[in-house]
Amino acid sequence: CLLPVALGSGAPCRWGSRFNVPPSAEFVARPVGVCSMLRLPVQASAEGLDAAFVGVPLDTGTSNRPGARFGPRQIRAESVMVRRYNGSTGAAPFDSLLVADVGDVNVNLYNLPDSCRLIREAYRKIVAPGCVPLTLGGDHTITYPILQAVAEKHGPVGLVHVDAHTDTGDRALGEKIYHGTPFRRCVDEGLLDCSRVVQIGIRGSSYAPDPYKYCRDQGFRVVLAEDCWLRSLAPLMGDVRQQMGDRPVYISFDIDGLDPAYAPGTGTPEIAGLTPGQALEIIRGCKGLNIVGGDLVEVAPMYDVSGNTALLGANLLFEMLCVLPRVKTM
């Protein structure tokens, strides 16, 4: 028989059964069904949803190795390993929120500014009814038009940005839009509350003797990777929560923030990065914040035949879902 992707696990929901529930592998084989994020139902719009997974398969803003256009598809494929409850934090997102996969933005691979327009228009429709978008990237260019739409609804947002790079360049090869410039463009347009921006995991060589001057001049908090080595980041996130307050916050997580030993499947890897455990500390440390969106970008699957980079991405997106407002704990 054919098993629909929306088929539930058969286990009772602690708070009722009116939500979409990922099927359990105890009852439905993992390879069965349409390839959707966490094997959730796929629907055409965000109407009626509390949160939505969205794919943006774009990599024409990439400066080194291409391939992030295939990130959303591979993250969805690896997400079959993610289960219903967060056993570490007790979060029960699927008993708390109505969540679905709303598919991909139909980007224009031959025109980056037009892709930004298409992304911005798509996200306006997603956030309009109050849905929180969680995005599968795609290169980091996509965060710029997403934040255009998010800031239209919520005003300038705070930003928790995990990355090897600040992505605040002004231009490259004469172009002002590519994956090294999204947050500079966001500053230009007043999309960020610069007093509530933290960038974590920054590292690598640079073209300038003081590569973080622009960020610090804007009021960003820049946390270098070497300041994270061999440390728990829980104390840092305590400070970040105080800094962010109760106003809207967006999480943008570039997978190259992690050390390439853990996440080699990306276009611009830098040595000596964060560990997966630290990544969990950062996202779990956002619990209680007024999170209005998040993304996981720069997964380029062909550079990691094991699938581990995409698996990490899928788990980090699940962790973002678990810290959204109104998610109950067991």
- pLDDT for res 279: 99
What is the CB neighbour count within 10 angstroms for residue 212?
16
Mean pLDDT of 175-192: 98
From residue 49, alpha-carbon distances to 85, 96, 162, 216 in Å are: 19, 11, 27, 37
Mean pLDDT of 214-243: 98
In this structure, is residue 284 part of a structural domain?
Answer: yes
Please tell me whether the peptide bond between 257 and the residue prior to it is cis, using omega within 30 degrees of 0. no
Asked if residue 165 belongs to a known ligand binding site, the reply is yes
Q: How many CA atoms lie within 13 A of 201 on its CB side?
A: 30
User: Band of the pLDDT at 7, cuts 50, 70, 90?
Assistant: very low
pLDDT at residue 12 is higher than 60: no
How much of the chain exceeds pLDDT 90, in percent?
94
Q: Which two tokens stand for residue 95?
A: 């008993």
- pLDDT for res 18: 83
pLDDT at residue 6 is higher than 80: no
How much of the chain exceeds pLDDT 70, in percent?
95
In this structure, is residue 210 part of a structural domain?
Answer: yes
From residue 297, alpha-carbon distances to 55, 161, 179, 310 in Å are: 10, 11, 10, 10
From residue 96, alpha-carbon distances to 50, 75, 80, 100 in Å are: 9, 23, 20, 13
Asked if residue 140 belongs to a known ligand binding site, the reply is yes
pLDDT digits (tens, 9 = 90+) for 192-216: 999 999 999 999 999 999 999 999 9
What is the CB neighbour count within 10 angstroms for residue 208?
9
In this structure, is residue 16 part of a structural domain?
Answer: no
Check the CA dihedral 267-272-274-275 and report its sign. positive
What is the CB neighbour count within 10 angstroms for residue 213?
12
User: Is the pTM above the cut of 0.75?
Assistant: yes
pLDDT digits (tens, 9 = 90+) for 278-293: 999 999 999 999 999 9
Is residue 113 classed as helix, strand or coil in its secondary structure? helix
In this structure, is residue 221 part of a structural domain?
Answer: yes
Distance CA 264, CA 260 (A): 4
Distance CA 172, CA 178 (A): 8
Number of domains in the chain: 1
Distance CA 51, CA 324 (A): 9
Is residue 3 classed as helix, strand or coil in its secondary structure? coil
What CATH number does the domain containing 201 carry? 3.40.800.10
Q: For the CA atoms of 166, 240, 249, 321, what is the dihedral angle to 10 degrees?
A: 100
- pLDDT for res 16: 52
From residue 55, alpha-carbon distances to 100, 134, 217, 246, 310 in Å are: 12, 9, 33, 28, 13
In this structure, is residue 30 part of a structural domain?
Answer: no
Mean pLDDT of 118-124: 98
Place of tokens 């239209």: 152
Q: Which two tokens stand for residue 309?
A: 């980079």
Distance CA 103, CA 79 (A): 15
User: Band of the pLDDT at 17, cuts 50, 70, 90?
Assistant: low
In this structure, is residue 329 part of a structural domain?
Answer: no
- Mean pLDDT, all residues of the chain: 95
Distance CA 174, CA 8 (A): 51
**Domain carrying residue 49:** 37-323
Asked if residue 167 belongs to a known ligand binding site, the reply is yes
Is residue 248 classed as helix, strand or coil in its secondary structure? strand
- pLDDT for res 272: 98
Tell me which residue of 291, 299, 277, 278 sits closest to 321, measured CA to CA: 291
Mean pLDDT of 175-202: 98
Q: Let me know: does 270 contact 203? Beta carbons within 8 Å.
A: yes
Mean pLDDT of 170-185: 98
In this structure, is residue 18 part of a structural domain?
Answer: no
In this structure, is residue 81 part of a structural domain?
Answer: yes
- pLDDT for res 10: 46
Asked if residue 217 belongs to a known ligand binding site, the reply is no
From residue 252, alpha-carbon distances to 3, 182, 195, 308, 315 in Å are: 34, 11, 17, 20, 15
